[in-house]
Amino acid sequence: MNRKQFISTVAGATATTVVGAGALAANPASSELSAKTTAPNHKVKRGVALYSYQRAMMEKGMTLRDCLEEMSDIGAYGVEYMTHSLPGEAGYPNVTNKFVDEWWEMMDEFGTVPYCLTGFVESCRRKQYMTVEENVAFLERDFIIAKQLGMKVARLGPPLWVIEKAIPVAEKHGIHMAMEIHSPMKLYGEYIDYVVKLAEKFPHAIGFNFDMGIFQKYPRPLTRELQIKAGNLTRDIALYIEDSYRKGIAQAEVENRVKGMKPQPGDTAYVASVYRAGANCNDPKDLIPLLKYSKHMHGKCHEMTKGDEFRDATLIYDEVIPVLMQHGFDGYICTEFEGQRIGTIYDVDEVDEVRRQHVMLKRILGV
């Protein structure tokens, strides 16, 4: 789906009219349509983690400017950037004034909003793990970069004993450390309780980044297609299994039915595989008491449906997004496309997948 096709969809046309600061100036032609767009009664906004475009950037020549222009075109204005994606001319880890100036010029040009920096600790680059103090110093270096680029949230995943020591540094630089809750993690337990206690005490310095992958309920269609291509699955049987799972038919009943369908060994094994797909799927309602501790979310995307349906093939966005809208989430959902990570060579068009997800998000959010 190219830009023209995206904008021609009903949701796509409206998505291009929803603006952040400066976006109308970047695209004056959208002002008439924008005036007709009703302001939503929620604070959920759309963005993109530039990680989503990693293959396009590394292998296809897509530049940072291209990424920002693309985001602006689809009305996804919130930018999540990775320190490891900074171009060589930026001078990381000592980011140059020239790059910072160019960054802000592009923000103004495309109406995009710097929001979140993805940071890491470098504990695996040497034989011995970095000390807590070294990790905190590393985080502070990234927080300084985030501040230069206008980002007030840092998506992190280091151990909590590092994060707790970094709280004074985060407060010093005005950074909210968003601890990632990623599949197969649950929305309850000791880790969640520990972060909540810290967030209650230091609300401006620490909270959560919920990754939508914790709401994966269905298997990837691409995985099925690769197995069919390899001769491990029979298409009719595989589709029957998936359809039965979606309808809530008991696994034992499906296993018995498959036995009478002259299955291959892979078909029989596929029943258990499909029924395990939702084993780590959380209940969206468990988000409700935690949303006040979150300013940022990852819109995980492994695979969107084909054609003009514009739905996620594996995640229950239609159940999760209304919870965010109705219970006061105030922040960005930044698409994090990970469809490239399938363990095999496959030419996935990540730009198209991100566009498709934002048609879906626009449909649900209305913005």
Q: Does a structural domain hold residue 189?
A: yes
Query: Are residue 272 and residue 335 in the same domain, yes or no?
Result: no
Query: Are residue 136 and residue 209 in the same domain, yes or no?
Result: yes
Q: Do 115 and 332 meet the contact criterion of CB atoms below 8 Å apart?
A: yes
Q: Does a structural domain hold residue 35?
A: no
Query: Are residue 233 and residue 323 in the same domain, yes or no?
Result: no
Separation of alpha carbons 352 and 22, rounded Å: 25
- Looking at residue 345, its pLDDT comes to 54
Neighbouring residues of 236: CB distance < 8 A, sequence distance ≥ 6: 261
- Looking at residue 126, its pLDDT comes to 59
Query: Are residue 272 and residue 301 in the same domain, yes or no?
Result: no
Query: Are residue 337 and residue 254 in the same domain, yes or no?
Result: no
Query: Are residue 211 and residue 226 in the same domain, yes or no?
Result: no
Query: Are residue 295 and residue 353 in the same domain, yes or no?
Result: yes
Backbone angles phi, psi at 81, to 5 degrees: -125, 145
Q: Does a structural domain hold residue 321?
A: yes
Q: Does a structural domain hold residue 37?
A: no
Q: Does a structural domain hold residue 36?
A: no
- Looking at residue 339, its pLDDT comes to 79
- Looking at residue 94, its pLDDT comes to 83
Q: Does a structural domain hold residue 56?
A: yes
Counting every residue written for the chain, the total comes to: 367
Query: Are residue 208 and residue 232 in the same domain, yes or no?
Result: no
Q: Does a structural domain hold residue 181?
A: yes
Query: Are residue 82 and residue 159 in the same domain, yes or no?
Result: yes
Distances 88 to 26, 57, 93, 119 between C-alpha atoms, Å: 27, 13, 10, 17
Query: Are residue 298 and residue 201 in the same domain, yes or no?
Result: yes
Among 238, 253, 276, the domain-final residue is: 276
Neighbouring residues of 47: CB distance < 8 A, sequence distance ≥ 6: 71, 76, 77, 78, 79, 80, 113, 115, 116, 332, 333, 334, 335
- Looking at residue 28, its pLDDT comes to 34
Among 252, 276, 300, the domain-final residue is: 276
- Looking at residue 128, its pLDDT comes to 75
* 10-residue averages of pLDDT along the chain (367 residues): 52 41 36 46 96 89 95 98 78 88 97 92 65 90 94 90 94 97 96 97 97 97 93 97 97 97 95 96 98 97 92 97 97 92 71 97 94
Q: Is 306 helix (H, G, I), strand (E, B) or coil?
A: coil
Q: Do 293 and 178 meet the contact criterion of CB atoms below 8 Å apart?
A: no
Tokens at 152, concatenated? 């007030």
Q: Do 118 and 82 meet the contact criterion of CB atoms below 8 Å apart?
A: yes
The domain tally of the chain equals 2
204, amino acid identity: H
Among 276, 291, 320, the domain-final residue is: 276
Tokens at 349, concatenated? 């068009």
Query: Are residue 114 and residue 169 in the same domain, yes or no?
Result: yes
Instruction: Indicate which CATH number applies to the domain containing 287.
Output: 3.20.20.150
Query: Are residue 78 and residue 168 in the same domain, yes or no?
Result: yes
For residue 225, give its domain range: 221-276
- pTM of the entire predicted model: 0.87
CA geometry: angle 292, 152, 358, nearest 5 deg = 75
Cis peptide before 184 (omega within 30 of 0): yes
Q: Do 280 and 192 meet the contact criterion of CB atoms below 8 Å apart?
A: no
Q: Does a structural domain hold residue 165?
A: yes
